[in-house]
Amino acid sequence: MRPSWPVSTRAGLTFVELLVVMAVSAIILVAIMSFLASGFPLSRVVYEQASATETARLQLKRMTKALREARYADTGAYPLVEMEPARVIFYSDVDGDDLTERMRYELRGTDLERGVIKPSGEPLSYESESEQTAVVARNIRNGAQPVFTYYSGDYPDDAVPLSPADLTEVKYIQYRLIIDADPAADPPAVDLVSQVQLRNLKTNLGEEALADD
């Protein structure tokens, strides 16, 4: 004789039970979505702030290297072309090809723009139409604070900025980027400050200072 097993006579949920389950699931889903939505704007701003800050740090390092090695142009022009609070133009070999590029860093709105002109022609010249531009840092909110500040060879003993900057007197450059992805929300702005000595334009430093640079 075969053993008998209890068999449920219910094939599934009733219509009323199904409605209850759906209602409860909808309430839970709405609660989860509300929680995620409330945290998403902050997470987005935090990510954008971190990304913008890291990008700016990298560009400051590259700019420091280029400025430190500023040198005479392949046309014989002086290493420094223009020194303004929001713009610096100079000559430097930034790609190691033994040709001296004309470099421009300029704050435009909240973007830091880089322009590069490679010398061309015979004799060599720098054509402004051939400038290659790129935005290298964003979310910069310096306000009235200058991006670039210029000092003489007596810095730091003489910490009075050169204003206006005399190209032949500039030996140190300090730059500052205030990064803020969203001024109306946390996290707070990040203040990046760095400086560089124009190695090829040193005039009054001793051998010890030269060795330590």
With 70 as the cut, is the pLDDT of residue 128 above it? yes
DSSP labels, 47-82:
HHHHHHHHHHHHHHHHHHHHHHT----TTS--SEEE
The pLDDT score that the predictor gives to residue 33 is 60
Separation of alpha carbons 63 and 195, rounded Å? 10
**110 torsion bin: left (phi>0), alpha (psi -120 to 50), beta (else):** alpha
Q: Which residues pair with 195 in a beta bridge?
A: 174
With 80 as the cut, is the pLDDT of residue 37 above it? no
The pLDDT score that the predictor gives to residue 207 is 37
Q: What is the mean pLDDT of residues 157-185?
A: 94
Asked if residues 189 and 141 have their Cβ atoms less than 8 Å apart, the reply is yes
Write out the H or E segment, with its range, that includes residue 168: none
Separation of alpha carbons 199 and 70, rounded Å? 8
The answer as to whether 58 is a domain residue is yes
* 88: nearest Cα among 70, 73, 76, 72: 70
The answer as to whether 205 is a domain residue is yes
Q: What is the mean pLDDT of residues 142-158?
A: 95
Q: Which amino acid is at 165?
A: A
The pLDDT score that the predictor gives to residue 69 is 95
Q: Number of structural domains, the chain?
A: 1
- Residue 78: CB partners within 8 Å, gap ≥ 6? 72, 167, 168
The answer as to whether 7 is a domain residue is no
With 70 as the cut, is the pLDDT of residue 21 above it? no
- Residue 203 lies in domain: 36-212
Band of the pLDDT at 22, cuts 50, 70, 90? confident
The answer as to whether 4 is a domain residue is no
* 201: nearest Cα among 87, 79, 82, 92: 79
Of residues 28 and 99, more confidence is placed in 99
The pLDDT score that the predictor gives to residue 2 is 55
The mean pLDDT value of the chain amounts to 86
Separation of alpha carbons 134 and 63, rounded Å? 14
- Residue 138: CB partners within 8 Å, gap ≥ 6? 52, 55, 110, 111, 112
- Residue 59: CB partners within 8 Å, gap ≥ 6? 112, 114, 136, 137
The answer as to whether 14 is a domain residue is no
With 90 as the cut, is the pLDDT of residue 119 above it? yes
The answer as to whether 23 is a domain residue is no
pTM over 0.85: no
Q: What is the mean pLDDT of residues 24-46?
A: 65
